[in-house]
Each structure stands twice: as C-alpha cells, then as structure tokens.
Amino acid sequence: MKMEVLPRKVDIHTASGPRVDLRSDQGGLIGTGGWFLPQVDQDDFYIHTVEWDLSEAPAGTRAIWTFGEGPYRIEHLGTIDTFVASVFMVGNVQSSPARPQLRPLPGTCATYWFGDLPPILQRLRSFNTDLYTPMADFFQDVDSSYRIFIRTSLRGWGGTSFLVSYILEYSDSILEAAYDEVMSLLAYEMVHSFTSLCNENDGTENAWYFEGIANYYATFLPYRFGLVSPSYVTTRVNGSLCRYYTSPEINIPMSDALKYFFTSWYSKWIPYDRGFAYLLLVDDQLRRLPGEPDSNGSGLFDRIVVDLSVRWRRGEKVQQKDWLASIGYFLQDRVECAAQLRAVSTGKPSISLAGRRVGSTKNMLRETRQYVLQFGYSRPSVTSRVVEGVVPGSHAELAGLRNGDVILRTGSTTEAAQGSLTKYFVLVERHGEELTVEYFPRGDQEVSCWQLESYKEDFVPASFIR
C-alpha cells in the first residue's frame, strides 16, 4: 500500500490537544501513527517494522520513531496499538544526547526537537534524563527506554503521552510559565507510560486513575528522587486541591466531566484533581495501618500501584475490581473501599481530607476557606478568539471584559486556578484598540479547601520496591 500524507493545516483557532496529528514544524514533520497510518482490527502481537527512504531528503535529515532511529530497518514486537500510539519525526532534528541512537540502551532517555529550544526547555532537558532512570526503576520497567518529542504550536503549551514517549508542544506562552509548572508536566506525562487501568467492560474509562495517578506521582517522585525541594511538593499538592475544592463543578459525575472535557473550564480538571484527592486519601488510609512507618517514603500504596502497573504493562486486563481487591486486602473492613470509589465516579459526596496527612504525620492538611473559581466567560471563546458568554456581575465583567472582544492572548488558566490569590488576564482588541483585562477569576462564594502548610523534610533517597 502506498499513500501520500500531508500535515494538518493549523492556525490560531486550532484547539490544543490531544497532540496526535501530523504537523509541519520548522521544515520537519512530527506526529503519531494513529493520524496517518491504516489501523488493523486484530488482537494479537506482531513485529512492526519501520524503514525510511531519505535518498531525496536534504543532507543532515534524521528520522526517528519511538522505538529507534532510521533510516535503517527497525523492528519492534507489539500489539496493533504500536503504530497508533507511537511517534514519528523527520527533518533537521536536534537531540540530547546529540549522537543518533539506532537502538537506545535500556533505562535511557532521549529528547528530540527542531530549531532552538526556549531557555526554560533547555534547562529541563537534563531533568528528563535524571527523572526517567529512577522512575523506570521504581515502576520495575528497567528494560525499556524513553523518548520525548518536542514541537512548536501557535498557542498554549502541554503534552500528550504515548508508548514509552510523549509529545511536548509549546508556543511563546511557555516563556511566562513557572519553572515548576513545566517540570511537573514533564513528570506527569512520563508517569502515564508506566501505569494505567483498562476501561471497564462497558467501556467506562478509569480517568480518575489515569489522570489522578499521573498527578500523584508527578508530585512526589521528583522529590523522592532528590530532583526538587519540598516546596515543589507543597506547591503541587495545594494547587491541585485548590482547583478541586473551589471548582463550581466539584460534584459533577465523572462521565459528564469527560463529556465536557474540551468545552468547560472546570470539567477538564475533574479527573486530575478528584483522582488526586482520592489517591491522597487512600495513601493516608494505608499509611495509618499498624506497623506502617511514619515517613514520606515508599509504602503500601506504592507496592499496590507498582504491582498493578507491572500486570498492566504485561497486557493483563487490569480494572477497578483489581484496584479494589488490592487496597481491600490491606484495608479490609476499616474502610468502605467500594463506596469511596463510587463517590469518585458520581461526584457525591465530595472527598473530605479533614484530619488527613500527606506522607508523614508532620504533614497534616489544614482546612482553609477559599473562593469558588469563576473565569467569567465561556471556554470556547479561546478557540474562536472572540469573547462570548460573559457572566453578568462576574469579576471578568467588572474588570471590563465584553462579549465580542477579540482575544489576542490570555494568561494561564491552570496557574490561575491553582492559587486563590493568582490573577488572570485577557488581552483583547476592541474597536481597533488593545486592552488588558486583569482580574481574580473567582466568585463571591467561599468553600472549604484542604491545604498543606509546608511539606516537611523527611528525605530518604528513593526507596525502590524490589
């Protein structure tokens, strides 16, 4: 079969994520096989072969696949998802390490990009490498390697994970991002490659686990590996819990959160933050069992997750019942495990972390009062680039935002949602004049929110589970 494939045409109106499409970038191409290769409806293992013909390409052209670098023949044994969920990149590719790797060594991590990276990503290249090796050891996957593919975008920044790899996409807006925020994203996407739960038999996604567990380990593993300070953990925990407890959609069913994932400001964060809060709760319940050490280090929670992760990567059908059986084995009748998880799905009641801790007893969560999130205009405005749905009486309207304003640029909704004192801005054009509308994206209603005063130092170099 011979096909001609063209990159997707994108502009400022193209929605961000998921980053699966084939795009041109600075004279090269990057995308996933799921976008441009035929898919076979078979359940079995196959040898997947990739070979590149670069005879008519400019000198210096490199061709990289998730599982090796061309142009020579590369083979990989995998399921039919291998091509769908792997990344292809060709052009004047830069890399770290700089030398081509036909077959990367187990336990190694390589990063690929076009052109010149912005300073914040240049600084983080070594973080990827420093994080991957101990993370692979932690999840007992030392025979694999990892690849990070970076491409530019016209707006926003973010990532999407694939088989032993992820695509990081960035625009100029990343220059304003907090260093810890970008570092957390890199760790978050990497965790996705090691652990997940399969869909339920009726097709229901276990998004609470997929997103929540990545959020959880992106928060704690960099600290355990000695790559960040305790303040990083404090910031990540408080940011996620603030976003969860102050969400106006805190009680939305998980199915609705997924349905409105790309159209609501608040629905998209529910799987991440409700999942994270639930996993913090379960971790604390396990740490309180007799004989468990009072520490920030590895415990029963990690043992359970790693066991399920190994089974999932082997191709087993690991689902909610396996999660409940694993935590129930230890918690027994002390906790109504099924009821707790049911609340994660239905959204009611919201997860209470009253009296709970994060790691050791030095890190107790405290109840605070914070204002409910309210961005004050509709999320689809960001894609259409025209403000619509301004909420009457909201801080956005009071600050001067109007329906019909043309959006030139916005602040980070993620960072604004993670801190009750963080302002948000919208740069608009109105009647030929540029205006910056800045405000606190909050309503007037106060709600209870559990926060960590500070994550107390209790560092033991990563206690890997053997």
Give me the domain span that covers residue 433.
Answer: 375-440
One domain, residues 63 and 47? yes
pLDDT at 466 over 70: no
Q: 37-61: per-residue pLDDT in tens?
A: 887 776 778 899 999 999 999 999 9
- H or E stretch including 240? helix 230-245
Higher pLDDT, 462 or 400: 400
Contact of 418 with 241, CB cutoff 8 Å: no
3 located within any domain: no
1 located within any domain: no
Size of the chain, expressed as the number of residues it contains:
466
Domain total of the chain: 3
Q: What is the domain-level CATH number for residue 419?
A: 2.30.42.10
Whole-model pTM: value is 0.92
One domain, residues 260 and 329? yes
Count CB neighbours of 392 within 10 A: 7
pLDDT of residue 460: 53
One domain, residues 300 and 396? no
Q: 59-104: per-residue pLDDT in tens?
A: 999 999 999 999 999 999 888 789 999 999 999 999 998 887 777 7
Q: 237-278: per-residue pLDDT in tens?
A: 999 999 999 999 999 999 999 999 999 999 999 999 999 999
Q: 155-206: per-residue pLDDT in tens?
A: 888 899 999 999 999 999 888 888 899 999 999 999 999 999 999 999 999 9
Report how far residue 257's alpha carbon sits from residue 110's, in angstroms, rounded to the nearest whole number: 34
233 located within any domain: yes
One domain, residues 218 and 364? yes
166 located within any domain: yes
- Residue 244, helix vs strand vs coil: helix
300 located within any domain: yes
One domain, residues 253 and 389? no
One domain, residues 104 and 144? yes
One domain, residues 269 and 386? no
419 located within any domain: yes
One domain, residues 155 and 223? no
Q: Are strands 28-32 and 23-25 parallel, antiparallel or unpaired?
A: antiparallel
193 located within any domain: no
276 located within any domain: yes
Cα Dmax for the chain: 68
One domain, residues 94 and 213? no
One domain, residues 214 and 357? yes
One domain, residues 296 and 231? yes
